Amino acid sequence: MEAATEPFTGLAAVGISRRFGAVQAVANMELHAPAGEVTALIGPNGAGKTTLLLVLASLLAPDSGTVRVMGIDPMKEPAAARARIGWMPDTLGVWESLTAREILTVMGKFYRMPKGRLPARVDELLDLVNLAELAEQKARVLSRGQQQRLSLARALIHDPDVLLLDEPASGLDPGSRVSLRRILRGLAADGKAVVVSSHVLAELDEIADRAVFVNAGRTVLVQTVGQAAAQGRRYAISALDPAALAAELTRLGVSFDAGKGRRDCVSVALGTEAQGAQLLADLVRAGVAVTAFAPAAGALEESYLGLDVEQR
Partner 1 sequence: MTIMENGTGPAPRTDAGPSGLGAYAAGVWAVVGMELRQRLRARGWYIMLVVWFGLIWLVTALTWASWKFQSSAQGDFGGVAGSAANGPGPLIFEAVLAFVLLFGLLVAPALSANAISGDRAGGTLAIMQVTLLRPGQLLWGKFLASWCAALAFLVVSVPFLVFGILQGGLGAGHILVALLMLAIELGVVCALGVGVSALANRPLFSIVVTYLVVAALTFGTLIAFGLGMMVTDGTVQANQVYYKNSYVATGPDGTVDPSQPSGQPELPQDITDQNDQFACYGPLQDQRAPRTDRVAWLLGMNPFVVVADAIPYPDRTSAAQQQYAVGAFESISQGARSAQAGPEATCQCANGKVAASYLSPQAPLWPLGLGLQLLLAAGVMALAWRALRTPAGRLAKGTRIA
Q: Does residue 58 touch partner 1 according to CB under 8 A?
A: yes
Among 46, 171, 242, 306, binds partner 1 (CB under 8 A): 46
For 218, counting Cβ atoms within 10 Å of its Cβ (0-12 exposed, 13-18 middle, 19+ buried), the class is middle
Closest CA to 309 of 45, 51, 49, 44: 44
Considering only residues 88 through 117, tell me which ones interact with partner 1, judged by CB under 8 A: 89, 91-95, 97-98, 102, 106-107, 109-115
61 binds partner 1 (CB under 8 A): yes
Taking the complex as a whole, how short is the minimal distance between the CB of residue 108 and partner 1, in angstroms? 9
Q: Choose between 5 and 255: whose C-beta lies nearer to partner 1.
A: 5
Stretch of 47-55, 125-133, 141-149, 291-299 lying at the interface with partner 1 (CB under 8 A): 47-55
Residue 220 lies near partner 1 (rule: CB under 8 A): no
Determine the interface stretch with partner 1 among 69-77, 124-132, 204-212, 262-270 (rule: CB under 8 A): 69-77
Is there a contact between 43 and 309 (Cβ–Cβ < 8 Å)?
yes
25 binds partner 1 per the rule CB under 8 A: yes
**Residue 6 burial by Cβ neighbours in a 10 Å radius (0-12, 13-18, 19+):** exposed
* Cα–Cα dist 183/192, whole Å: 12
Shortest Cβ distance from residue 187 to partner 1 (Å)?
16
Q: Which residues pair with 222 in a beta bridge?
A: 212
* Spatial contact of 130 and 146, defined as CB atoms under 8 Å apart: no
**Residue 23 interacts with partner 1 (CB under 8 A): yes or no:** yes
Q: How many Å apart are CA 227 and CA 224, to the nearest integer?
A: 5
CB atoms within 10 A of CB 7: 6
171 touches 25 (CB < 8 A): no
The answer to whether 273 and 187 have CB atoms below 8 angstroms apart is no
CB 106, min distance to partner 1, A:
5
Piece of 87-95, 232-240, 253-261, 280-288 that binds partner 1 (CB under 8 A): 87-95
Of 29-37, 65-73, 129-137, 169-177, which part binds partner 1 (CB under 8 A)?
Answer: 65-73
Residue 114 makes CB contacts below 8 A (sequence gap 6+) with none
List contacts with partner 1 (CB under 8 A). Answer: 20, 23, 25-26, 46-51, 54-55, 57-61, 70-72, 74-75, 78-80, 82-85, 87, 89, 91-95, 97-98, 102, 106-107, 109-115, 138, 154, 158-159, 217
